[in-house]
Amino acid sequence: TERTLVIVKPDGVARNLVGEVLRRVEAKGYSIVALELRTADTDLLARHYAEHEDKPFFASLVEFMVSGPVVAAIVEGHGVIEGFRSLAGSTKPTSAAPGTIRGDLGREWGSAVVQNIVHGSDSPESAAREIGLWFPAL
Ligand code: GTP
Ligand code: MG
């Protein structure tokens, strides 16, 4: 079976939405196989979001992601990479469909940063790379 890296971002932890996100993951039938609450450092986030390093929002994105604790999880299940992206919804909370995590819970006001609650790996290559970054022992 497939694995993906899910992160409940600082906005999700600060708003007490960790259980709500994990509930949706488990209700879909996926399994949590590793789970950790931690405040990441800039080096880890810069590597995590390396594909975005030339984007105008890169610095504020990294700053936001280290601004408080996050919950990182390895989630396992058939087709979970695509499946979790579907549960999460599209990047912008304003246009994300109702019923998705970002559509139901995300915000993009009151901050320069898109506060979209969760991250999910976007391909098998990204999942392997990101799991290696966040859970180097696994
Ligand atoms: P992740 O699961 O976090 O990787 O989200 P994604 O795959 O839906 O989006 P993408 O990888 O393109 O962007 C990564 C993150 O950067 C997003 O989740 C947002 O938090 C932020 N982001 C993306 N596009 C923009 C943008 O145009 N403006 C701002 N301010 N932030 C953005
Ligand atoms: Mg992405």
63: CATH: 3.30.70.141
- Check residues 112 and 21 and name the one with the higher pLDDT: 21
Its domain, for residue 52, covers 2-134
Whether 13 lines ligand 1, by a CB cut-off of 6 Å, is: no
Other beta carbons less than 10 A from residue 127's beta carbon: 21
Q: Is 95 in the pocket of ligand 1 (CB under 6 A)?
A: no
Q: How many domains does the chain have?
A: 1
Give the Å distance between the CA of 53 and the centre of ligand 2. Answer: 12
Q: Ligand 1 mean position to 91 CA, how many Å? A: 6
As a whole number, mean pLDDT of residues 98-120 equals 90
Ligand 1 binding pocket includes 119 (Cβ within 6 Å): yes
Hey, how many other C-beta atoms are within 10 angstroms of the C-beta on 48? 22
pTM, full prediction: 0.96
Strand pairing of 70-77 and 2-8?
Answer: antiparallel
Alpha-carbon distances, residue 91 vs 34, 38, 88, 94 (angstroms): 24, 23, 8, 9
The overall average pLDDT reported for the chain is: 96
CA of 116 to the centre of ligand 1 (A): 8
